[in-house]
Chains A and B, each alone.
Chain A
Amino acid sequence: EPEVTQTPSHQVTQMGQEVILRCVPISNHLYFYWYRQILGQKVEFLVSFYNNEISEKSEIFDDQFSVERPDGSNFTLKIRSTKLEDSAMYFCASSDGQGVHEQYFGPGTRLTVT
């Protein structure tokens, strides 16, 4: 069964550094998403991406964040200058449609900012 994969599984970085989190969505999916889950809190939407551009983004997704689909398979989330409060689990997801279509999630990348 196809699945969403994410690398790395755990990333430790110093405050102020740039990080890139990588995702490979399910191959025939067209919609891609990033969510985050701060420890002990609910899963929060960051951004959705369709047709090579951002379709929606939340208030969390400020100028420090960017997304890219550099090739036909990868989908990346970049945090330009990490802050302590960026420490969280970041989940990538993909779907073949919006609204009624379920999203399939990757296993997540745990980002620790020190």
Chain B
Amino acid sequence: AQSVAQPEDQVNVAEGNPLTVKCTYSVSGNPYLFWYVQYPNRGLQFLLKYITGDNLVKGSYGFEAEFNKSQTSFHLKKPSALVSDSALYFCAAPLGNTPLVFGKGTRLSVIA
């Protein structure tokens, strides 16, 4: 079955250190992949997407994501984490007739 998965419920990282939030996918054909962020009591904000082309996608707030076809992954990264990056991060993809299927979410905590 087609799906997106986020294997980590929680990621903790020290401020200034690089961060990675993991996402794997199982999609037939060429995948479209998205990352969204949810700050407390806010809606989901679009960060970036992979459609085709360069495997390294750059997005908002200094985030980037690397598409890896052989590993079926689309991990979100940032070279230097900020405390303000602490939020809930969702990987998502259109699957079948569903416009967006979300992963379960990963809570990122950046510690000063």
Contact = CB atoms under 8 A, between A and B. Distances in A.
A105 B105 CA distance: 16
Contacts of B34: 102
A75 interface: no
Contacts of B77: none
A105 B99 contact: no
B38 to A, nearest CB: 8
B28 to A, nearest CB: 14
A65 interface: no
A33 B101 CA distance: 13
Contacts of B51: 100
B46 A42 contact: no
A105 B32 contact: no
B98 A58 contact: yes
Contacts of B100: 33, 35, 45, 103
Contacts, number: 55
A48 B99 contact: yes
B85 to A, nearest CB: 19
Interface string A83-100: 000000001010000111
B53 to A, nearest CB: 12
B32 A56 contact: no
Interface string B82-98: 00000000101010011
Contact of A56 (B43, B97, B102, B104): B97
A108 interface: yes
A12 interface: no
A99 B102 contact: no
Contacts of B56: none
Interface of B: 32, 34, 36, 41-46, 49, 51, 90, 92, 94, 97-105
